Amino acid sequence: WINSFLILFLYIFLLSIGLMGAAFKGFGKGFAEVLLNTTSNSFVGLFIGILATSLVQSSSTTTSIVVGMVASGVITTGNAVPIIMGANIGTTVTNTLVSLGHVTRREEFKRAIAGATVHDFFNIICVSIMFPLELATGFLQKLATRMSDVFIMVGGVKFSSPVMLITKPVIEMISQFVVDGLGLSDKAGYSLVLALAAVFLFMSLYFIVKIMRSLVIERIENALHNVFGESVFISIMVGLVLTVIVQSSSITTSLMIPLLGAGILSLRAAFPITMGANIGTTTTAILASLATGNPAAITIAFVHFLFNFIGVVFIYPVRIMREIPITLATKLGELAARKRRYAFFYVITLFFLIPSLLIIISRTFG
Would you give the DSSP letter of residue 1?
-
Of residues 17, 20, 74, the one with CA closest to residue 291: 17
pLDDT value at residue 261: 84
Stated as kind and residue range, the H or E segment containing 341 is helix 341-348
- Give the rounded distance of the alpha carbon of 129 from its chain centre: 19
pTM of the model: 0.77
Task: Note the pLDDT tens digit of each residue in 285-311.
Answer: 787 787 777 888 889 989 999 999 999
Stated as kind and residue range, the H or E segment containing 148 is helix 139-152
pLDDT value at residue 158: 44
pLDDT value at residue 294: 82
pLDDT value at residue 36: 46
In which residue ranges of the chain is pLDDT below 70? 1, 24, 27-39, 57, 152-164, 205, 209, 212-213, 215-230, 246, 366
- Give the rounded distance of the alpha carbon of 253 from its chain centre: 13
In angstroms, rounded to a whole number, what is the distance separating the alpha carbons of residues 235 and 272? 6
Of residues 189, 171, 177, 180, the one with CA closest to residue 27: 189
Give the strand pairing for 153-154 and 157-158: antiparallel
pLDDT value at residue 225: 61
- Give the rounded distance of the alpha carbon of 334 from its chain centre: 29
CB neighbourhood size of 142 (10 A): 12
pLDDT value at residue 263: 81
153: β partners? 158
In angstroms, rounded to a whole number, what is the distance separating the alpha carbons of residues 330 and 309? 25
In angstroms, rounded to a whole number, what is the distance separating the alpha carbons of residues 196 and 199? 5
pLDDT value at residue 32: 47
pLDDT value at residue 156: 38
Q: If you count them, how many residues does the chain have? A: 366
pLDDT value at residue 159: 44
Q: What letters, b where the CB count within 10 A reaches 16 and e where it falls short, cover 256-284? A: bbbbbbeeebebebbbbbbbbbbbbbbbb
